[in-house]
């Protein structure tokens, strides 16, 4: 990857003298950005472009270029790649489009690209991309015109599946005074994917913030391992959020653990900051460019009472607190302002103060307060004389923020002309809406709290290594109830006493062993939601009632089970996610599980600390702690069972979906017991 970003020579394939030729635009971009390496041009015909020779064939280039950028029709791509391989060019960027993004019939050409890459040991970015921009060395490879003044140098590097979004993010970051470092368009990612680039950027000393736009994650487990290995903030905008095609009616787990929710929980597990749109993404970049807050305590300064009240609400809504300001601070305030004009509160309403020198002194004094972790300023003014002092105030706030190593979050509301001018001249992140600013700052606070590197071992995830798998595989399809219960028993779960019987006589004989009360269920693997299909009879108290139940169900085989004592109904589940592998789910169960949807998900396997956090993150977690004189439930047992189930899912990659619903959780020290479970095998 280092050579792809820092080549000493670049060959551009697909160049001509035509004014409409996109290959020549790449050469012009390299010249404008001051790329100091050697540039070779290759086209269908020999010629000259801007005093550079155009070679008719790759083989005619006198040296071996370190990087080739290909922008030719898709039909000639295989031949061009073979020519690069014969020349010894191993690093390739294919900007040509016209592959599987247009239709499945183009898959064959993609397979040919992969074959050629393997043959010659090539690293390929693309196809269907706009290449790379490296601000450090002037490597600017998009086929549309770029200009240096459009890209400010800084710590942010971007990886995107969309070439168009690379351009738009660059434009938005330039408007918002965000410095860029490296931008990579990975397109169809046939050979190199987001993980290859992410691994490079994590190690890159000049990249401080990483942003990604992805439509899918090829290897979610590797993505998590990489994200867990770095302190650099990673901001992810993930599209394709609608649920994939799956038989969600079969299992509660499949219905609850939708693809997008799994992404959400997996990213939270490793500290990746997920955003929902470009605006939130750019706001996050702005916030991460400020010094990180060491805590949640904010001092809020506003020029309007209304803004002060609204911002106070926003502070608490986004998980911050209004800092307690010292008597020394309020004493300074009294000296600098007319007595009685400013109330001794936080937020501070400076509506009757019009001295920008005083604004700056108040801001600096707030930053000096030990109880203040960040300062939020809401600055609004009318068109006219306040423009120049406002511009200076913003510049001074930037210096104070750097001096005290605390963020000054600056929200400004002014007229359109002033707003655009201030953005272009102040070189400091500016926000308009307090909610947007604090949404972004909350991500920085969350990140700054993660003082210890999150290693893959800490978060509990593991790689798909065959020697970690159980040697025996389960039979494909729906697994019979007794086999499911036996498997759960092997992983430490207690199951309510049961028997599989075929007739009333067997049932009557069995009930004398296990005792009343009992439940009678159909044992058919074809009926998955037994309660809804009338396949369950509960609380059977005597033999006469049991005989009536047998007659009512009319099944080929029956599950006769001892009724479990009352407790809290919990669902535990898991499935094999296409992007992240085995995941484990926990929540409040029973027949209303899909209505309440109070669940937590983690990528398996997990440790006990992660299991405890899963339980604590449930909205109804207080129920498990005990309330209104009820005793707490056995949360420690539940955590151990979650660890065991995550290990089961990890060790048996053939499991498609698992539902344990319900597990009856008893009071503290009492453990729990499984009442019903379903298992489907690939």
Distance of alpha carbon 434 from alpha carbon 377, whole angstroms:
9
Q: How confident is the model at residue 467 (pLDDT cuts 50, 70, 90)?
A: very low
Res 251: pLDDT: 53
Res 461: pLDDT: 58
Tell me the pairing of strands 297-302 and 348-349: parallel
Distance of alpha carbon 334 from alpha carbon 344, whole angstroms:
9
- In the chain, the largest separation of any two C-alpha atoms, in whole Å, equals 101
Q: How confident is the model at residue 426 (pLDDT cuts 50, 70, 90)?
A: confident
- Has residue 376 got a pLDDT over 90? yes
Q: Which of 223-227, 360-364, 420-424, 427-431 has the lowest mean pLDDT?
A: 420-424
User: Quick one: three-class SS letters along 183-203?
Assistant: EEECCCCCCCCHHHHHHHHHH
Res 531: pLDDT: 54
> 3-state class of 316 per DSSP?
helix
CATH of domain 2-245: 3.40.50.720
Q: Which residue has the higher pLDDT, 480 or 258?
A: 480
Percentage, residues of the chain above pLDDT 90: 72
Distance of alpha carbon 319 from alpha carbon 370, whole angstroms:
19
CA nearest 217: which of 466, 655, 650, 581?
581
CA nearest 559: which of 491, 665, 480?
480
Q: Would the CATH topology of 2-245 be identical to that of 291-449?
A: yes
Query: Could you report the per-residue pLDDT of 583-603, keeping only the tens digit for each?
Result: 999 999 877 677 778 899 999
CATH of domain 291-449: 3.40.50.261
Per-residue pLDDT, averaged over 510-527, amounts to 86
Per-residue pLDDT, averaged over 183-199, amounts to 96
If one counts every other C-beta atom within 10 angstroms of the C-beta of residue 120, the result is: 16
Per-residue pLDDT, averaged over 200-208, amounts to 98
CB 367 within 8 A of CB 406: yes
Per-residue pLDDT, averaged over 349-361, amounts to 87
Cβ-in-10-Å burial (0-12, 13-18, 19+) of 423 comes to: middle
> 3-state class of 252 per DSSP?
helix
Query: Could you report the per-residue pLDDT of 557-583, keeping only the tens digit for each?
Result: 899 999 999 999 999 999 999 889 999
Domain ranges of the chain: 2-245, 291-449, 497-562, 568-681
Q: Which residue has the higher pLDDT, 476 or 184?
A: 184
If one counts every other C-beta atom within 10 angstroms of the C-beta of residue 578, the result is: 13
At a CB cut-off of 8 Å and minimum separation 6, what does 305 contact? 349, 351
At a CB cut-off of 8 Å and minimum separation 6, what does 420 contact? none
Q: How confident is the model at residue 391 (pLDDT cuts 50, 70, 90)?
A: very high
Torsion of CA 4, 6, 11, 17, to 10 degrees: 120
Res 573: pLDDT: 93
- Has residue 101 got a pLDDT over 90? no
Instruction: Identify the architecture of domain 568-681 in CATH.
Output: 2-Layer Sandwich (3.30)
- Has residue 227 got a pLDDT over 60? yes
Percentage, residues of the chain above pLDDT 70: 91
Cα angle 420, 422, 427 (rounded to 5 degrees) comes to 115
Res 464: pLDDT: 45
Report the half-sphere exposure of 242 (CA within 13 A, side-chain side). Answer: 1
The mean pLDDT of the chain is 89
Res 473: pLDDT: 67
If one counts every other C-beta atom within 10 angstroms of the C-beta of residue 222, the result is: 20
Res 256: pLDDT: 57
Q: What share of the chain is helix, strand, coil (3-state, %, to 5)?
A: 40, 20, 40
- Has residue 636 got a pLDDT over 50? yes
- Has residue 387 got a pLDDT over 60? yes
Would you give the distance in Å from CA 43 to the centre of its chain? 42
In CATH, which superfamily holds the domain spanning 497-562? ATP-grasp fold, A domain (3.30.1490.20)
Res 335: pLDDT: 81
Res 418: pLDDT: 84
Query: Could you report the per-residue pLDDT of 434-465, keeping only the tens digit for each?
Result: 999 999 999 999 998 875 445 445 555 555 44
Torsion of CA 422, 427, 431, 437, to 10 degrees: -170
Joined together, the tokens standing for residue 661 give: 């619903």
Place of tokens 């219960």: 485
Res 194: pLDDT: 97
Joined together, the tokens standing for residue 396 give: 């001074």
Strand partners, 586: 572, 600
Distances (CA, A) of 420 to 177, 379, 425: 12, 15, 9
Q: Which residue has the higher pLDDT, 147 or 626?
A: 147
Per-residue pLDDT, averaged over 267-281, amounts to 95
Distance of alpha carbon 641 from alpha carbon 485, whole angstroms:
14
CA nearest 303: which of 249, 359, 357, 350?
350
Query: Could you report the per-residue pLDDT of 32-85, keeping only the tens digit for each?
Result: 999 999 999 999 999 999 899 999 999 999 999 999 999 999 889 999 999 999
At a CB cut-off of 8 Å and minimum separation 6, what does 486 contact? none
Strand partners, 665: 568, 672
Res 304: pLDDT: 85
Running DSSP on this structure, what letter comes out for residue 44? S
Q: Which of 17-31, 401-415, 542-556 has the lowest mean pLDDT?
A: 542-556
């Amino acid at each position: 990857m280092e050579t792809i970003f820092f080549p000493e020579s670049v060959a551009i394939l697909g160049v001509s003298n035509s004014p409409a030729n996109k290959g020549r635009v790449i050469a012009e971009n390299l010249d404008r950005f001051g790329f100091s390496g050697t540039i070779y041009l290759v086209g269908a015909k020999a010629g000259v472009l801007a005093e550079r020779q155009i070679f008719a064939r790759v083989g005619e280039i006198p040296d071996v270029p370190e990087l080739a950028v290909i922008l030719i029709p898709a039909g000639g791509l295989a031949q061009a790649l073979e020519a690069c391989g014969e020349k010894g060019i191993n690093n390739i960027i294919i900007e040509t489009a016209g592959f599987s993004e247009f239709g499945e019939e183009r898959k064959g050409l993609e397979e040919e690209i992969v074959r050629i890459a393997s043959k010659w040991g090539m690293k390929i970015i693309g196809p269907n991309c706009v290449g790379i921009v490296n601000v450090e060395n002037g490597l600017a490879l998009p086929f549309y015109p770029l200009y240096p003044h459009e890209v400010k140098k800084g710590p942010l590097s971007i990886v995107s599946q969309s070439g168009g979004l690379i351009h738009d993010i660059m434009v938005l970051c330039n408007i918002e005074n965000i410095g860029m470092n490296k931008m990579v368009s990975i397109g169809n990612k046939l050979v190199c994917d987001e993980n290859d680039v992410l691994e490079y950027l994590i190690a890159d000393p000049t990249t401080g913030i990483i942003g990604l736009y992805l439509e899918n994650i090829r290897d979610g487990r590797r993505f998590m391992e990489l994200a867990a290995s770095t302190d650099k903030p990673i901001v992810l905008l993930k599209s394709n959020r609608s649920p994939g095609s799956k038989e969600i009616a079969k299992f509660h787990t499949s219905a609850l653990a939708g693809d997008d929710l799994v992404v959400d929980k997996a990213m939270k597990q490793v500290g990746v900051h997920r955003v929902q749109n470009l605006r939130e993404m750019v706001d996050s970049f702005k916030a991460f460019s400020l010094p990180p807050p060491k805590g949640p305590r904010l001092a809020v300064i506003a020029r309007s009472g209304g803004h002060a009240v609204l911002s106070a609400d926003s502070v608490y809504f986004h998980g911050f607190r209004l800092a307690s300001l010292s008597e020394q601070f309020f004493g300074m305030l009294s000296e600098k302002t007319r007595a009685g004009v400013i109330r001794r509160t936080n937020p501070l309403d400076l509506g009757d103060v019009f001295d920008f020198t005083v604004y700056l002194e108040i801001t600096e004094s707030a930053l000096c307060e030990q109880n203040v972790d960040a300062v939020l300023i809401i600055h609004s003014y009318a068109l006219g004389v306040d423009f120049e002092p406002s511009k200076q105030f913003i510049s001074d706030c930037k210096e104070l923020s750097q001096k005290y190593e605390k963020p000054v979050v600056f929200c400004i509301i002014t007229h359109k002309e002033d707003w655009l001018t201030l953005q272009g001249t102040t070189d400091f992140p500016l926000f308009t809406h307090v909610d947007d600013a604090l949404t972004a700052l909350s991500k920085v606070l969350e990140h700054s709290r993660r003082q210890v590197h999150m290693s893959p071992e800490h978060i509990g995830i593991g790689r798909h290594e065959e020697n970690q798998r159980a040697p025996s595989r389960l039979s494909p399809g729906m697994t019979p109830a007794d086999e499911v219960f036996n498997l759960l028993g092997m992983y430490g779960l207690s199951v309510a006493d049961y028997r599989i019987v075929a007739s009333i006589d067997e049932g009557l004989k069995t009930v004398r062993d296990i005792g009343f009360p009992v439940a009678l269920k159909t044992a058919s693997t074809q009926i998955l939601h037994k309660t809804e299909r009338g396949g369950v009879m509960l609380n059977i108290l005597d033999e006469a009632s049991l005989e009536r139940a047998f007659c009512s169900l009319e099944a080929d085989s029956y599950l006769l089970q001892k009724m479990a004592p009352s407790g809290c109904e919990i669902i535990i589940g898991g499935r094999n996610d296409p992007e992240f592998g085995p995941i484990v789910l926990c929540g409040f169960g029973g027949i209303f599980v899909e209505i309440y949807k109070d669940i937590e998900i983690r990528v398996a396997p997990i440790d006990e600390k992660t299991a405890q956090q899963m339980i604590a993150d449930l909205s109804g977690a207080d129920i498990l702690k005990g309330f209104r004189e009820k005793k707490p439930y056995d949360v420690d047992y539940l955590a151990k069972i979650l660890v065991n189930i995550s290990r089961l899912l990890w060790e048996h990659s053939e499991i498609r979906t698992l539902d344990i619903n319900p597990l009856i959780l008893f009071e503290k020290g009492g453990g729990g017991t499984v009442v019903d479970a379903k298992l489907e095998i690939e």
